[in-house]
Chains A and B, each alone.
Chain A
């Protein structure tokens, strides 16, 4: 089912925390709302669920505007950060809860709950209380409880944040599999960029109640439209530079930085003047100072982190700007702190954006 949000506004005590937000989520896809805490992503999710009142605008599930429908009539499945399993009910009764609310007959309840629990490998745990389950098991119960009612949309509020990193990967897989099997439109809230990149069909990066950028994971990572998005997704060096002449979208430009010129791509049209360059640490090459060419900037290594598969370096340019560089491949740890080096920013990977 398609979710379409149209000029949505949400207010707490007359203060609008979301104002005029529009968004379309394609049927059967996972859409991730990504952002730091307080950016409004959970508020948006709860507005879709019906737990916070909508001040203005529409929320369409398919053709139906649900914005003014109470939460229990929206036919949603919701998975909570703290699992929200009913502690006094068995695993079976937790999963059966929504079916019973829909007056499903007993035989069908037993069959569907049994199948659902088997699907996530918890068939043997049906009679246990939630307290007797591990964190990962609880989250799987919460997931099938939300899915067994065959909701129109699945809403997930940071469902992995209470799990340790190994379990997080397992449950992430389970979520992706079940979501694809059910073909259910899913909205996923997280502040974890890796999770967002790995799981989503599309990502919306939120900032101060607005969607800063919406796009596929690779698009968000490769071509952030703003410094905020670049900084939030992955590590990024954000440098100041000057653009001599206005540039059209998609143009490759040359920028003055630290007395030298470097190349960069403009994803959007830019006026002349101060701009910012966004470049990922892995898109900067480093060479010994004696091999410097015109395209390269001189720098000095100030810190070095050996990470096994790669080495992360912090270097300062001659004007004092500090950048981080990831070097991989053979001998990636060959530079030492204090070494004079030359760095080269890959012009096809560097982005010029508005300051």
Chain B
């Protein structure tokens, strides 16, 4: 491809490349380079592979990833299949599940499980009174249970989209050729939707590997890679940058391998379904229907539980760590809003800045990648996918080390938190921006240019207004996820710059559940407000470009 140096787009591409190079490639490269540095070369790798605790952490992480992936698929795939192919009582409520997981921060989920099944948990105590002793929730039991009920939504969404995109005429064709209905489904439907299902399984695996909040809070004595990495990063005494970088490198490598496998599966499994006819859900009756409805509502209840628990907890009287369930107060909320509202201000400021920056970058980079391809843009495309391979913890370590000293010193500033937010959300914002650009016909742009408006002004006058709904959706999604961000910000933040998730995390560690719940309620409100405004007032379809 040619590089026309007279084109402003080429210069803009170079500018973007430089920006991404400094703020994204450099920190990531720095992790790998630092892992090889130190007094003795390869010292970090020697420590990690020489110490059984780290090896155990890696093994545990892979084991947990496998277990949660299997369990989440076991919940999500049948639920998606039932929802796509059958009508059963209470089906409507299942459709809100993606939204529920979107608005429920992991740290609140962790807190809820603790309040319900932790050592002093509500359900545990109630069962104890009736003579049932539950095993400790800390460790494998808690980790798999809590993660399964978060990550099954990815299996659900991915499978549902695949089954809905399947042309039911293929199944009918198989039956017309003599296959029994069950056989037709197995032989025709399964191969077509399998790549999508496998892709969501691998996605879940990477999310488990990178998971921080649940691993930290519910992990107990189970050693996990993300926990070890975080501890290495924040511990004052054994602050060893080489070790931190090595652990981060291990996590990045695992995720990268899985993501490459995912990409390979997706690219191989891209069957062309020509104009499909979507299957009509058939109605279920009787015992079957009740069974399905019961199973589906159990999933819904568990998914909604954190929201309910956080509301209840926020208004419950507490004395230190002891919750007086059934006694109500507004003192917790008062305290959060009037006496220590700084985390709220911080969260809104950082997330607001990050959302604005991420959206502008997404629009510009998306336009360059989709519409103004040149020799540089494929490189930009690859670099912007890099954050998908970074766990929050790994990114935090990369940022701290890259911007600790030198030309650009960001450690200790608010900017490093904003930067972390922007990097983590960029791939998703970009996905929204470019998928909408692919849907805007090129001829619109040419029509504007042919009428005498130069390309730059055409972008502003024609393309940007048409991208606006998708960018607004991307902005809402960026906002909702950045205000809940914990794993990177907890590494890069400095005193006085706590965000709400950081504050909740600290309160949970201190056992102050009522206050944590109050912050949790505020956080959910901060998350929900723009979603309500966007979907109810502006009628924006948040998930339009996700399927």
Q: Which residues of A contact B (CB under 8 A)?
A: 13, 49-51, 53, 70-73, 75-78, 80-82, 84-88, 97-98, 101-102, 142, 145-146, 149, 155
Q: Is B449 at the interface (CB under 8 A from chain A)?
A: yes
Contact B448 A97 (CB under 8 A): yes
Chain A residues with CB under 8 A of B454: 70, 72
B443 at the interface (CB under 8 A from A): yes
Whose C-beta in chain A lies nearest to the C-beta of B448?
A: A97
| Residue B39 is within 8 A (CB to CB) of chain A in the complex | no
A224 to B: closest C-beta gap in Å: 33
A175 to B484, CA, bound (A): 58
Contact A84 B451 (CB under 8 A): no
A102 to B457, CA, bound (A): 13
Assuming A82-B441, A84-B441, is B446 touching A72 (CB within 8 A)? no
Closest to B458 in A: A72
Give min CB distance, B252 to chain A, whole Å.
Answer: 35
Does B298 touch A at the CB level, under 8 Å? no
Given known A-B contacts A78-B447, A88-B466, A13 and B452 have beta carbons under 8 A apart: no
List of A residues within 8 angstroms of B443 by Cβ: 80-82, 84
* CB neighbours of B455 from chain A (8 A): 70, 72
For residue B535, give the distance in angstroms from its CB to the closest CB of chain A. 20
- A71 surroundings in chain B (CB, below 8 A): 446, 449-450
- From A80, A97, A98, B446 is in contact (CB under 8 Å) with A80
Tell whether, in the assembled complex, residue B446 and residue A75 are in contact, meaning their CB atoms are under 8 Å apart: no
Q: Is B465 an interface residue (CB 8 A)?
A: yes
Q: Is the CB of A98 within 8 A of B452?
A: yes
B453 on the A face (CB < 8 A): yes
In the complex, chain B residues 104-142 whose Cβ is within 8 Å of any chain A Cβ: none
A76 CA to B447 CA, complexed, in Å: 10
| Residues 442-472 (chain B) with a chain A CB within 8 angstroms | 443-444, 446-455, 458, 462, 465-466
What is the CA–CA distance of A98 and B441 in the complex, to the nearest angstrom?
Answer: 19
CA distance A97 to B455 in the complex (A): 14
Taking CB atoms and an 8 Å cut-off, the chain B residues in 60-78 that contact chain A are none
With most chain A CB atoms within 10 A of its CB, the pick from B1, B446, B450 is B450
B residues in contact with A98, CB < 8 Å: 451-452
Residues from chain B with Cβ under 8 Å of A78 in the complex: 446-447, 450
Asked if A13 and B1 sit within 8 Å, CB to CB, the answer is yes
Given contacts A97-B448, A97-B453, A101-B451, 13 further A-B contacts (CB under 8 A): A13-B1, A49-B446, A51-B449, A70-B449, A70-B454, A72-B455, A77-B451, A84-B443, A84-B447, A85-B447, A88-B465, A146-B451, A149-B451
| Number of residues of chain B lying within 8 A (CB) of chain A | 19
A84 to B443, CA, bound (A): 6
Which residues on the B side are within 8 Å of A85 (C-beta)? 447
Question: Contacts A80-B443, A82-B441, A84-B443 given: A72-B449 contact, CB under 8 Å?
Answer: yes
A73 to B452, CA, bound (A): 6
Nearest A residue to B1 by beta-carbon distance? A13
B447: which of A70, A73, A80 is its contact (CB, 8 Å)?
Answer: A80
Q: Which residues of A contact B1 (CB under 8 A)?
A: 13
Which chain A residues border B447 with CB–CB below 8 Å?
Answer: 78, 80, 84-86, 142, 145
A155 to B446, CA, bound (A): 12
In the complex, what's the smallest C-beta–C-beta distance from B392 to chain A, in angstroms? Answer: 38
A51-B452 Cα distance, complex, nearest whole Å = 13
Given A78-B447, A84-B443, CB of A149 within 8 Å of CB of B452? yes
Complex Cα–Cα for A118 and B292 (A): 62
Q: Which residue of chain A has its CB nearest to the CB of B6? A: A70
Query: What chain A residues lie within 8 Å of B448 (beta carbons)?
Result: 86, 97
Please tell me if the beta carbons of B441 and A145 are within 8 angstroms of each other in the complex. Answer: no
Closest 7 CB pairs of A and B: A98-B451, A84-B443, A78-B450, A84-B447, A101-B452, A80-B443, A101-B453
> Can you report 6 A-B residue pairs in the complex whose CB atoms are below 8 A from each other?
A49-B446, A72-B449, A80-B447, A84-B443, A101-B452, A101-B453
Within the complex, what minimum Cβ distance (angstroms) separates B186 from chain A? 41
B residues near A50, Cβ cutoff 8 Å: 449
Find chain B residues with CB under 8 A from A155 CB.
450
- Residue of A at shortest CB range from B444? A84
Query: In the complex, what distance in Å separates the CA atom of A72 from the CA atom of B450?
Result: 5
A152 to B458, CA, bound (A): 21
Interface string of B194-220 (1 = CB under 8 A from A): 000000000000000000000000000
Assess the B450–A146 pair: CB atoms within 8 A. yes
CB proximity to A under 8 Å, residues B512-542: none
B-side contacts of A76, CB under 8 Å: 450
Residues of B197-247 whose CB lies within 8 A of A: none
Report B-chain residues with C-beta under 8 Å of the C-beta of A97.
448, 451, 453
A145-B444 contact, Cβ under 8 Å, with A13-B1, A86-B462: no
B452 to chain A: which residues have CB within 8 Å?
A: 72-73, 75, 98, 101-102, 149
